[in-house]
Amino acid sequence: MNFCPQCATPLAPRQVDELQRLACPAPGCGFVHWDNPTPVVLGLVETEAGFILARNALWPPEVFSLISGFIERNETPEQTMLRETQEELGLAASRADFIGHYTLEKRNQLIIAYALRASGTPQPNHELAELRLLSRAELAGYDFGRLALSARIVGDWLERGAHGG
């Protein structure tokens, strides 16, 4: 963000609450760009056929992760996860069980992770290029590569002895 959304003045660094932040220097404006993290949901989806990992259409061929999405206005994180499962995979899930919350600093995101049990056959939408179905054992040994946070979420879920929702 380079300009104040209230008065269009160029933003400048300023000390606010003991942190360096971008703020509007215009007299009487007072706008501060807090740069709060964006909440995102991430879901470990299980079907009768196995656990689903997806490759986003914009990602390299070897990169697979969990289903994810941004929380919409007036939506709870659980509702978001159920909606994203339907939109991205064409699957119905009735509940989302909380795994944990995580910080993805490089993208300034708060990740809220869930495990879901869904029914049906996955039908990926245009956002996804490819799916992988893994058994529990395959999931436990899966190499997420550079996606360390996905590996941590799956590891946390497996460590708690979870059984798919």
Q: How far apart are CA 8 and CA 146, in angstroms?
A: 39
Number of domains in the chain: 2
Full domain range(s) for residue 121:
38-159
Q: How far apart are CA 53 and CA 163, in angstroms?
A: 17
Question: Per residue in 130-160, pLDDT tens?
Answer: 999 999 999 999 999 999 999 999 999 999 8
| CA 89 to centroid of chain Cα atoms | 15
DSSP symbol at 72 = P
What was the pLDDT predicted at 159? Answer: 92
Q: For residues 98 and 27, state if they share a domain.
A: no
Q: For residues 92 and 141, state if they share a domain.
A: yes
Q: Which amino acid is at 136?
A: R
Q: For residues 61 and 138, state if they share a domain.
A: yes
Q: For residues 76 and 150, state if they share a domain.
A: yes
Question: Per residue in 27-86, pLDDT tens?
Answer: 999 999 999 999 999 999 999 999 999 999 999 999 999 999 999 999 999 999 999 999
| Residue at 90 is within a domain | yes
This prediction has a pTM of 0.86
| Residue at 59 is within a domain | yes
Residue 58: Cβ within 10 Å count? 8
Candidates 41, 50, 42, 68; CA nearest to 128 is 68
| Residue at 165 is within a domain | no
Q: How far apart are CA 135 and CA 51, in angstroms?
A: 6
**pLDDT surpasses 90 at 116:** yes
Q: For residues 84 and 4, state if they share a domain.
A: no
Q: pLDDT-derived band of residue 115, with 50, 70 and 90 as boundaries?
A: very high
Q: For residues 77 and 152, state if they share a domain.
A: yes
What was the pLDDT predicted at 161? Answer: 75
**pLDDT surpasses 60 at 8:** yes
Q: How far apart are CA 120 and CA 122, in angstroms?
A: 6
> Which residues lie closer than 8 Å to 119 by C-beta, 6 or more apart?
47, 48, 91, 92, 93
| CA 50 to centroid of chain Cα atoms | 21
What was the pLDDT predicted at 165? Answer: 43
Q: How far apart are CA 151 and CA 148, in angstroms?
A: 5
| Residue at 28 is within a domain | yes
Query: Which domain CATH number covers 78?
Result: 3.90.79.10
Question: Per residue in 89-103, pLDDT tens?
Answer: 999 998 899 999 999
